[in-house]
Amino acid sequence: MAGRLPIVCDSDAPVGDGDPIDPIPLAARGTAGYPGWLADRHGRHLRYLRLSVTDRCDLRCVYCMPEDGVPASAKEDVLSFEEIVRLLRVFKGLGVETVRFTGGEPLVRRNLPELIRMVRDEVGIRDLALTTNATALAPLAKALVQAGLQRINISVDSVDPELFARMTRGGDLSKVIAGIEAIQAAGIAEIKLNAVVVRGQNDERVAELVEWAWARGLVPRFIELMPLGEAANLGRDAVVSVAELKQQLAPLLADEAPQHRSDRGPAGYVPARHHPDRVVGFIGAVTDNFCHRCNRVRITARGDLRACLASPTGASLRDLMRAQSSDEALSLVVEEALYGKREGHEFYVPGVDRHHAVDMSRIGG
Please state, in angstroms and rounded to a whole number, the distance separating the CA atoms of residues 349 and 145: 42
How many CA atoms lie within 13 Å of 230's alpha carbon, on the beta-carbon side?
17
Q: Is 337 in the site for ligand SF4 (CB under 6 A)?
A: no
Nearest to 104 by CA among 78, 129, 143: 78
Q: Is 59 in the site for ligand SF4 (CB under 6 A)?
A: yes
DSSP string, 97-127: -EEEEESS-GGGSTTHHHHHHHIIIII---E
Q: Is 133 in the site for ligand SF4 (CB under 6 A)?
A: yes
Q: Is 194 in the site for ligand SF4 (CB under 6 A)?
A: no
Residue nearest to ligand SAM (CB): 365
Among 54, 98, 202, 361, binds ligand SF4 (CB under 6 A): 361
State the angle between helix axes of 173-185 and 161-168 in degrees (0 to 180), rounded to the nearest 10: 100
Closest separation in Å from C-beta 137 to ligand SAM: 11
Q: Which is nearer to ligand SF4, 103 or 314 (CB)?
A: 103
Work out whether the CA dihedral 163, 164, 168, 171 comes out positive or negative. Answer: negative
Contact between 251 and 273 (Cβ < 8 Å): yes
The DSSP bridge partners found for residue 101 are 51, 130
Residues that bind ligand SAM (CB under 6 A): 57, 63-64, 102-103, 105, 131-133, 155, 194, 196, 223, 225-226, 228, 231, 360-361, 364-365
223 binds, among ligand SF4, ligand SAM, none (CB under 5 to 8 A by kind): ligand SAM
Q: Which is nearer to ligand SF4, 118 or 176 (CB)?
A: 176
Closest separation in Å from C-beta 106 to ligand SAM: 6
Give the distance, in angstroms, between the CA of residue 346 and the centroid of all CA atoms in the same chain.
Answer: 17
Q: Which is nearer to ligand SAM, 203 or 335 (CB)?
A: 203
102 binds, among ligand SAM, ligand SF4, none (CB under 5 to 8 A by kind): ligand SAM
Compute how many other C-beta atoms are within 10 angstroms of the C-beta atom of residue 253. Answer: 21
Q: Which is nearer to ligand SAM, 295 or 300 (CB)?
A: 300
Q: Which is nearer to ligand SAM, 26 or 78 (CB)?
A: 78
Contact between 354 and 313 (Cβ < 8 Å): no
Q: Is 57 in the site for ligand SF4 (CB under 6 A)?
A: yes
Among 70, 100, 103, 298, binds ligand SF4 (CB under 6 A): 103
User: Terminal CA-to-CA distance of the chain, rounded, Å?
Assistant: 27
Please state, in angstroms and rounded to a whole number, the distance separating the CA atoms of residues 230 and 249: 28
Q: Is 105 in the site for ligand SF4 (CB under 6 A)?
A: yes
Work out whether the CA dihedral 161, 164, 168, 169 comes out positive or negative. Answer: positive
Closest separation in Å from C-beta 102 to ligand SF4: 8
281 binds, among ligand SF4, ligand SAM, none (CB under 5 to 8 A by kind): none
Closest separation in Å from C-beta 225 to ligand SAM: 5
Judged by the rule CB under 6 A, the positions of this chain that interact with ligand SF4 are 57, 59-61, 64-65, 103-105, 133, 155, 361
